[in-house]
Amino acid sequence: MRVYNFSAGPATMPLEVLERAQSELLDWRGSGMSVMEMSHRSPEFVGIAAEAEARMRSLLSLPDDYAVLFLQGGATGQFAGVPLNLTAPGATAAYVNTGAWSKKAITEAKKYLDVRVLADESASNYATVPPEGSLEVPADAAYLHYTLNETIGGVEFPYVPDAGEVPVVTDASSTILSRPLDVSRFGVVYAGAQKNLGPAGLVVVIVRKDLLGRARREVPSAIDWTAMAEADSMLNTPPTLAWYLVGLVLEWIEQQGGVAGMGERNRAKAELLYGAIDASDFYSNPVDPGARSWMNVPFLVPDGALEKPFVAQAAEAGLSGLGGHRSVGGMRASIYNAMPLEGVQALIDFMTEFERKNG
């Protein structure tokens, strides 16, 4: 029996994708072998890789002047990849701090350059994003980096910051393809796969081509965007199985009406869950309503002693992964693309019943 899995990542996958992968596992389309057994240089795998990239381009309506890279090392690798690929030693870059993942990106970037934090939302306990138009991006900044969706805090930017001529770089790990995104406003968009794209092991980097060729000499080859773009992301052996599975997920998103269709479904799911939380005196969500994430919904109960029973009883009822991040506690429901509305409704039904018993 499959449960509703609210884990923040690795996260729930579309059942249709798992079934398709299962049916192709031993013999991929008459090749007589599994995708995981194929040479990454074989025509079969090169085709799988190219198809996934083409689907990503079409789903995001990517202009031709963007490269799409499929790399390893996670979004964490790109916390270093961004400064190492975009700047020379001695550079300055602008960052926005909206929570845990911003902080990690900033800490890593400080190893390589001078970080200027333009906005720090600690005063609201990371329940807000800076108001639109409030960021004063220095003209000498090599780029502006922000975290599009804070997976732990459940804070999502409802707008793309304007940085003038300075390239905007965003960590879209926990929100990519959940709703339309105008990539032409960005220099770089990167995202770990294990939330909305597929299994762990792969990070997608979408980079405007004029930003290639700026890497430091010492950038590790495995995260060298320029070298990877020239090698179709196959400078070394890529995570072939993850790449194939991402391709299947992208095909599934197309069947759901693309990012527009996903966006409508995700809006409905988020409205349903936040609506239930707001309507109750028992549950609360601390995030500014204008910056609430559609993907990660943290919530609290009035008494911290009820958190463990909530998570345990929910798991018994087939609702898995609802514990908050270990750094913040509370509860968190991650409702990525693959979480159906029925799963959100089942969670709300459980919450209502738990409140009735404990409220």
CA distance 143 to 62: 20
| Nearest in space to 20 (alpha carbons), one of 35, 8, 31 | 35
Contact yes or no for 141/164 (Cβ under 8 A): no
Instruction: Work out how close the CB of 151 gets to ligand PMP at its nearest, in angstroms, rounded to a whole number.
Output: 3
How many Å apart are CA 193 and CA 204, to the nearest integer? Answer: 7
The yes or no reply on residue 211 touching ligand PMP (CB under 6 A) is no
Of 28, 103, 171, 224, which one is the catalytic site residue? 171
How far apart, in whole angstroms, are the C-alpha atoms of residue 86 and residue 110? Answer: 14
Contacts of 257 by beta carbon, 8 Å cutoff, 6+ apart: 264
C-alpha distance across the termini of the chain, in Å: 31
Is 225 a residue of the active site? no
Number of helical H runs and strand E runs in the chain: 9, 13
Contact status: 130 vs ligand PMP (CB under 6 A): no
Closer by beta carbon to ligand PMP, 53 or else 171 = 171
Asked if 128 is part of the footprint of ligand PMP (rule: CB under 6 A), the reply reads: no
Footprint of ligand PMP on residues 36-95 (CB under 6 A)? 74-76
- 293 lies in the site for ligand PMP, by CB under 6 A: no
Residues 143-182 that bind ligand PMP (CB under 6 A): 147, 151, 171, 173-174
Q: How many positions of this chain bind ligand PMP (CB under 6 A)?
A: 11
**Nearest distance from residue 197's CB to ligand PMP, in Å?**
11
Active-site annotation holder among 101, 225, 243, 294: 101
DSSP-assigned beta bridge partners for residue 203: 71, 192
Closest to ligand PMP by CB, 42 or 76: 76
Catalytic status, residue 171: yes
> Which of 171, 355 has the CB closer to ligand PMP?
171
Residues 6+ apart with CB under 8 A from 295: 149, 151, 156, 174, 175, 178, 195, 196, 266, 334, 335, 336
Whether 103 is a known active-site residue: answer no
Shortest distance, position 174 Cβ to ligand PMP, whole Å: 4
To ligand PMP, the closest distance from the beta carbon of 71 in angstroms equals 11
Residues within the interface to ligand PMP (CB under 6 A):
9, 74-76, 101, 147, 151, 171, 173-174, 192
What residues are annotated to the active site? 101, 171, 195
